[in-house]
Amino acid sequence: MLDVIVIGGGISGGSAAIYTSRGGLKTSVIDSGKSQIKQVSKLFNYPGIKGITGSELLDNIKDQAIDGGTEWLEGSVETVTRNDHGYSVKLADGNERFAKYLIIATNLQTSLLESLGFELAVNEKVPSGKIKKVFGVEHDGTTKLPNLLSRVCWQVFQVNPS
Protein backbone atom coordinates (compact mmCIF):
# COMPACT_ATOMS: atom_id res chain seq x y z
CA MET A 1 0.00 0.00 0.00
CA LEU A 2 1.18 3.51 -0.85
CA ASP A 3 1.29 6.42 1.55
CA VAL A 4 0.03 8.97 -1.02
CA ILE A 5 -1.75 8.85 -4.36
CA VAL A 6 -1.79 12.10 -6.31
CA ILE A 7 -4.38 12.34 -9.06
CA GLY A 8 -3.14 14.88 -11.58
CA GLY A 9 0.31 15.35 -13.04
CA GLY A 10 0.19 19.09 -13.62
CA ILE A 11 1.94 21.77 -11.60
CA SER A 12 -0.06 21.19 -8.40
CA GLY A 13 0.03 17.40 -8.52
CA GLY A 14 3.69 17.26 -9.50
CA SER A 15 4.63 19.71 -6.77
CA ALA A 16 2.67 17.71 -4.21
CA ALA A 17 4.54 14.57 -5.28
CA ILE A 18 7.91 16.31 -4.92
CA TYR A 19 7.09 17.33 -1.34
CA THR A 20 5.57 14.01 -0.27
CA SER A 21 8.24 11.79 -1.80
CA ARG A 22 11.08 14.01 -0.50
CA GLY A 23 9.33 13.81 2.87
CA GLY A 24 9.76 10.03 2.85
CA LEU A 25 6.23 9.09 1.84
CA LYS A 26 5.77 6.36 -0.77
CA THR A 27 4.01 8.37 -3.49
CA SER A 28 2.36 7.62 -6.82
CA VAL A 29 1.12 10.15 -9.39
CA ILE A 30 -1.59 9.25 -11.87
CA ASP A 31 -1.24 11.58 -14.83
CA SER A 32 -3.76 11.74 -17.67
CA GLY A 33 -1.37 13.95 -19.65
CA LYS A 34 -4.04 16.64 -20.11
CA SER A 35 -2.56 19.46 -18.04
CA GLN A 36 -3.69 22.82 -19.40
CA ILE A 37 -0.20 24.30 -18.92
CA LYS A 38 0.99 22.19 -21.89
CA GLN A 39 -0.75 24.70 -24.17
CA VAL A 40 1.43 27.57 -22.95
CA SER A 41 4.18 28.32 -25.46
CA LYS A 42 6.31 30.41 -23.07
CA LEU A 43 6.17 31.13 -19.33
CA PHE A 44 8.04 34.16 -18.04
CA ASN A 45 6.51 34.49 -14.58
CA TYR A 46 7.51 31.23 -12.92
CA PRO A 47 9.88 31.86 -9.97
CA GLY A 48 13.48 30.95 -10.67
CA ILE A 49 12.96 30.34 -14.39
CA LYS A 50 13.59 33.04 -16.99
CA GLY A 51 11.55 31.43 -19.75
CA ILE A 52 10.20 27.93 -20.40
CA THR A 53 7.38 26.23 -22.27
CA GLY A 54 4.55 24.64 -20.33
CA SER A 55 5.61 21.18 -21.50
CA GLU A 56 9.22 21.76 -20.45
CA LEU A 57 8.09 22.91 -17.00
CA LEU A 58 5.96 19.79 -16.57
CA ASP A 59 8.86 17.58 -17.67
CA ASN A 60 11.13 19.25 -15.09
CA ILE A 61 8.56 18.80 -12.32
CA LYS A 62 7.99 15.15 -13.29
CA ASP A 63 11.75 14.44 -13.37
CA GLN A 64 12.22 16.04 -9.96
CA ALA A 65 9.36 14.01 -8.46
CA ILE A 66 10.68 10.76 -9.94
CA ASP A 67 14.20 11.57 -8.68
CA GLY A 68 12.65 11.92 -5.22
CA GLY A 69 11.15 8.44 -5.43
CA THR A 70 7.70 9.09 -6.91
CA GLU A 71 6.11 6.41 -9.08
CA TRP A 72 4.67 8.23 -12.13
CA LEU A 73 1.84 6.44 -13.96
CA GLU A 74 0.32 7.54 -17.26
CA GLY A 75 -3.43 6.91 -17.30
CA SER A 76 -6.81 8.11 -16.21
CA VAL A 77 -8.75 7.47 -13.05
CA GLU A 78 -12.17 5.81 -13.31
CA THR A 79 -13.21 5.76 -9.65
CA VAL A 80 -12.09 6.79 -6.19
CA THR A 81 -13.42 4.90 -3.18
CA ARG A 82 -12.88 5.61 0.48
CA ASN A 83 -12.21 2.51 2.63
CA ASP A 84 -11.12 1.68 6.19
CA HIS A 85 -7.42 2.17 5.40
CA GLY A 86 -7.64 5.25 3.16
CA TYR A 87 -8.49 5.30 -0.53
CA SER A 88 -8.73 2.95 -3.48
CA VAL A 89 -8.14 4.41 -6.95
CA LYS A 90 -9.19 2.39 -10.00
CA LEU A 91 -7.60 3.29 -13.31
CA ALA A 92 -9.21 3.03 -16.75
CA ASP A 93 -6.85 0.14 -17.63
CA GLY A 94 -8.22 -1.90 -14.69
CA ASN A 95 -5.23 -1.42 -12.37
CA GLU A 96 -5.97 -0.37 -8.82
CA ARG A 97 -3.83 1.49 -6.29
CA PHE A 98 -4.38 1.89 -2.54
CA ALA A 99 -3.07 4.65 -0.26
CA LYS A 100 -3.63 6.14 3.16
CA TYR A 101 -3.64 9.69 1.76
CA LEU A 102 -5.20 11.00 -1.44
CA ILE A 103 -4.53 14.31 -3.17
CA ILE A 104 -6.86 15.27 -5.98
CA ALA A 105 -4.98 17.84 -8.06
CA THR A 106 -7.16 18.21 -11.12
CA ASN A 107 -9.39 21.07 -12.06
CA LEU A 108 -11.07 19.32 -14.98
CA GLN A 109 -12.15 15.87 -13.80
CA THR A 110 -15.12 16.97 -11.70
CA SER A 111 -16.60 13.48 -11.36
CA LEU A 112 -13.93 12.36 -8.86
CA LEU A 113 -14.77 15.04 -6.31
CA GLU A 114 -18.50 14.72 -6.96
CA SER A 115 -18.34 10.95 -6.33
CA LEU A 116 -16.90 11.71 -2.88
CA GLY A 117 -19.82 14.03 -2.07
CA PHE A 118 -18.36 17.45 -2.93
CA GLU A 119 -20.41 20.17 -4.58
CA LEU A 120 -18.61 22.08 -7.33
CA ALA A 121 -19.01 25.32 -9.21
CA VAL A 122 -17.61 25.23 -12.75
CA ASN A 123 -16.33 28.36 -14.43
CA GLU A 124 -18.85 28.76 -17.25
CA LYS A 125 -16.59 31.33 -18.97
CA VAL A 126 -13.82 28.76 -19.52
CA PRO A 127 -14.62 26.36 -22.40
CA SER A 128 -12.79 23.42 -20.76
CA GLY A 129 -15.20 23.38 -17.79
CA LYS A 130 -12.47 24.22 -15.28
CA ILE A 131 -13.47 23.99 -11.62
CA LYS A 132 -14.12 27.43 -10.13
CA LYS A 133 -14.80 26.37 -6.53
CA VAL A 134 -15.09 23.17 -4.52
CA PHE A 135 -17.45 23.64 -1.59
CA GLY A 136 -16.23 21.97 1.59
CA VAL A 137 -12.52 22.46 0.90
CA GLU A 138 -10.64 24.81 3.19
CA HIS A 139 -8.12 27.39 1.94
CA ASP A 140 -5.27 24.98 2.79
CA GLY A 141 -6.81 22.13 0.77
CA THR A 142 -8.11 20.11 3.72
CA THR A 143 -11.52 18.50 3.44
CA LYS A 144 -14.18 16.90 5.62
CA LEU A 145 -12.93 13.46 4.59
CA PRO A 146 -9.97 12.04 6.52
CA ASN A 147 -6.65 12.06 4.64
CA LEU A 148 -8.07 13.75 1.52
CA LEU A 149 -6.63 16.98 0.16
CA SER A 150 -8.03 18.77 -2.85
CA ARG A 151 -5.56 20.95 -4.71
CA VAL A 152 -7.43 22.66 -7.50
CA CYS A 153 -5.26 25.73 -7.30
CA TRP A 154 -1.52 26.35 -6.99
CA GLN A 155 -0.43 26.30 -3.35
CA VAL A 156 2.58 24.84 -1.59
CA PHE A 157 1.83 22.60 1.38
CA GLN A 158 3.26 19.89 3.56
CA VAL A 159 1.75 16.54 4.47
CA ASN A 160 2.43 15.41 8.01
CA PRO A 161 1.88 11.64 8.31
CA SER A 162 0.44 10.68 11.66
Give me the pLDDT at residue 119, please.
76
At 37, which helix (H) or strand (E)?
none
Q: What is the mean predicted confidence (pLDDT) over 30-57?
A: 86
Give me the pLDDT at residue 89, please.
95
Report yes or no: 116 and 145 within 8 Å, Cβ to Cβ. Answer: yes
Query: Which range has the worst mean pLDDT, 14-28, 33-47, 93-107?
Result: 33-47
All structural domains of the chain, each given as residue ranges with its CATH number in brackets, are 2-150 (3.50.50.60)
Of 39, 116, 49, nearest to 77 by C-alpha is: 116
Give me the pLDDT at residue 47, please.
82
Sign of the C-alpha dihedral computed for residues 74, 13, 154 and 55 taken in this order: negative
The rounded radius of gyration (Å) of the Cα atoms in the chain is: 15
